[in-house]
Chain A
C-alpha cells in the first residue's frame, strides 16, 4: 500500500526540528525520540549541529539514508522548496503540518496549488497541509505538535479516526485517553492536497488493527469514490461518519421540485444510507456508535433486546427508547423463565425488562445474565447497573464480561454516577464492553449495531444477487 510509509516508517525526518522546546518541529521530533518508535529519526535544521543530541542535517537531501516519512513544520512559504527536496530525495510520504495555505485563500491557495503540481505523477504522497498529522500507537508514529501534558495520547485500540479538523481531532484524542478508549490510527487530513478520506478509507479497510473506521468530515471532495471506498470497507468493518456543515446548500438550482427538496443534508443522508455508512449527528454519537461497533459482535438474525436492570426506572425508560427506535424487547422462553423463577427472589418478576430490584448483588446479575443471554429469543443485552447501592461491588464488571464472552451476543451497559461508577466504566471499557450514561444513548448504540448487521445482510444479499 502506498500509504504504508505514513504509519510504518523505518526512517523519519522532521523538517523544522528546532532546538527550542516550544516550537512545533521540536515537539514532533521529540515525540519520535522519546517514544518506542523503532525506526531512525533525523532532525532537519540548517542552523543547528544537533537537536536533542542527534546530528542535524541542513536538508532532507543530506540525510545519509533513504527516507520513508518526512514531517514538515516550517512556515508556509518555505514548504514548496522542501517538497522539491523530498521529491529529489525520493521521500515516500510527507506530512505538512504548516498552515497558511488554501484555508487563508489568495497567496496561500496559490502555494497549495504549486505543491499539488509538484507532486503530480511523482511517488511522494502528502498528508495535509494545515493539519496535525498522524498518530499511530501500534508503530509509535506521532506527528502531533501538541505536548503530551496538554494532549494525552490514547492507547492502542480498535477504532481508527480520520478528522478533517485538527483541533477537533486533538480534543477527541485527549478525551478518548481520559475514557480509556483506544485508537488504531488517527489521521488529521487538513486541506487534503493529496491524501484524502477516500485513500484512507481504502487503506483502513485492510488495516488489521482497525475494527471500526470513524470520520469527521466537512466536505467530501470525491463523493462517488468515497461511497465506493465505504462500500468496500463495509464488507469487512463498520464506517461511522460525522458530517459537519449539513445545512441547506443555498446555491442549488431550484427549477425542479426535486431540486428544491434536495438540500445537501438530504442527499448526504441518502448517499450514506445507500452505501451502508452509519451516520452520526453529534460528537457523542460518533464515539457511542464506534465503541459498540468496534468492541461487540454483530447480532445474528435474532435482534430482540433483553434488559437486565437493578433500577426499575432506568429499565422502563430503556424499554420506551427501544420501542421508540422500532426495536423489540425479547420474550423469554420457558426454560429461561423457569431458571429465573428458581434462582431469583420472588419479587423479581421474570419478564423483559428484567428488574433484579435495588438489592441485587453481583451473584444475581450472574444468574440473570447467564439465563437471559443463553435464551434463543434474545439477540442483544442491555445491562443497566446503577452503582449507588452498596450491594454491588466492582466484580460486576467480571460478571458482565464473562457473560458477554460466554454468550457471544452483543452486550452494552448503561450506568451513570460519580467516581466509583466512572472507575467501573473504565474497567468495562478495558474489557471492550461499552458503557453509556443514559438509556437513550445506550439504545442508540444498540440501534447502530443492529443497523450495521442489516447493512451486512444487504451486502450479502447483493453478493448473491450478482
Chain B
C-alpha cells in the first residue's frame, strides 16, 4: 500500500525509528484496523473545537518523536469529561511533558474519543529473525503482565489460524462472555489479526507493532493505542 509506505519512508528519511501516533493510526486505518476518532491539534482552542466535534469524554496524547512510552512522562490524559476539564488538562499535559522530558520536541497533541471500558486484549506484530513476520495475541492487562497469556503465529494467518490462536489463550473464555457479560465480537477480533498479519507482510520496514490495548466490545473492537517500530533494513524476511 503506497500511502502507508510513504509514511514509513518519510519517517525513515527523518531518521526516526518509530512512527508518530497519528502516523501509526493512519497506517492502521488504511489496513482496516479500527482506531478511535482522532485529530492532531496545536493549541487549546483547536482542542476544544475538535473535542466538541468528537464528543466527550476525550483523551489527550502528546506527539513527539522522542517519546515512545507516553504515559511514563505524563504524556496521556484520559477521561476528559467536558470543555472545562479539557481547557484545564491541555496546558497541564504540555507542561508536564516539558518538565519530565525537556529535550523532547513536541509536535502537537492528539485528541481522540475516549472509548468505554470493556474486555482488553493485546495484538502485536513482530519480525522474528528465524520465522519472519509473526502475529501475537494476548489477553490484556494483568493477563499479559503477570500470566504472560499470549501466543504467537507466523504470518500469514487465515481465519482458522486466527480463531485457533484466540482459543489457545487460557483467558479466551473471557471473550466468550462470562458473568453475564456479552461475548466479544469474534469476527472483528479475527479480522484485526488477519489485518495485522497482512500489514506485517506488506511493510518489511515495520519491525514491531503494538495494538495495546485493543478493547473488545460485543459488536466491534477498537485499537485504542497503537505503536509502530521501524527497522532500518529489511531484516527478517
Contact = CB atoms under 8 A, between A and B. Distances in A.
A110 to B, nearest CB: 24
Chain B interface mostly:
strand
Given A255-B68, A261-B148, A266-B150, A220 B124 contact: no
B158 A271 contact: no
A270 B154 contact: yes
B134 A224 contact: no
Given A266-B152, A458-B164, A257 B210 contact: yes
Interface in B139-185: 144, 148, 150-154, 157-161, 164-165, 168
Interface in B91-129: 122, 124-126, 128
Interface size range on B against A: 35 or more
A260 to B, nearest CB: 10
B61 interface: no
8 contacts: A227-B131, A256-B210, A256-B227, A257-B124, A258-B210, A262-B152, A275-B154, A462-B158
B229 interface: yes
A461 B160 contact: yes
Given A221-B130, A257-B144, A462-B158, 16 more contacts: A256-B229, A257-B122, A258-B126, A261-B136, A262-B124, A262-B126, A262-B136, A266-B151, A270-B136, A271-B131, A271-B134, A274-B165, A458-B160, A458-B164, A465-B158, A465-B160
Contacts of A418: none
Interface residues of A, number: 27
Contacts of B152: 262, 266-267, 269-271
B209 interface: yes
A84 B202 CA distance: 43
Contacts of B157: 274
A224 to B, nearest CB: 5
Q: Give the interface centre of A219, A257, A461 by most chain B CB atoms within 10 Å.
A: A257
Given A257-B124, A262-B126, A271 B151 contact: no
Task: List 5 tightest A-B contacts by C-beta distance, closest first.
Answer: A258-B124, A270-B152, A223-B130, A256-B208, A223-B131
A256 B209 contact: yes
Interface in A420-466: 458, 461-462, 465
B154 A258 contact: no
B230 to A, nearest CB: 10
A236 interface: no
Interface in A195-231: 219-221, 223-224, 227
A273 B168 contact: yes
Interface in A38-88: none
B160 A271 contact: no
A274 B161 contact: yes
A104 interface: no
Contacts of A220: 130
Contacts of B209: 256, 258
A227 B229 CA distance: 26
Contact of B18 (A219, A223, A255, A264): A255
Contacts of B136: 258, 261-262, 270
A250 interface: no
Contacts of A461: 160
Interface in A225-253: 227, 253
Q: Give the interface centre of A219, A220, A269, A273 by most chain B CB atoms within 10 Å.
A: A273
B134 A270 contact: yes
B126 A259 contact: yes
A463 to B, nearest CB: 11
Interface string A339-359: 000000000000000000000
B72 to A, nearest CB: 13
Contacts of B153: 270-271, 273-274
Contacts of A462: 158, 160
Nearest to A275: B154
B34 interface: no
Interface string B189-212: 000000000000000000111101
B79 interface: no
A465 B136 CA distance: 24
Contact of A258 (B125, B131, B164): B125
Contacts of A458: 160, 164
Given A261-B124, A262-B136, A274 B154 contact: yes
B133 to A, nearest CB: 9
Contacts of B25: none
Contacts of B74: none
Given A258-B136, A261-B148, A270-B152, A224 B131 contact: yes
Nearest to A261: B150
B229 A262 contact: no
B154 A224 contact: yes
Contacts of B124: 256-258, 261-262
B128 A262 contact: yes
Nearest to A227: B154
Contacts of B128: 223, 262, 267, 271
A258 to B, nearest CB: 3
A253 B134 contact: no
Interface string B45-79: 00000000000000000000000100000000000
A421 B10 CA distance: 71
A258 B130 contact: no
Contacts of A255: 17-18, 68, 208, 229
Given A262-B128, A262-B134, A269 B151 contact: yes
Contacts of A227: 131, 154
B225 to A, nearest CB: 10
Contact of B229 (A259, A264, A267, A269): A259
A145 B26 CA distance: 62
B205 to A, nearest CB: 14
A271 to B, nearest CB: 5
A267 B210 contact: no
Nearest to B68: A255
Contacts of A465: 158-160
A461 B161 CA distance: 11
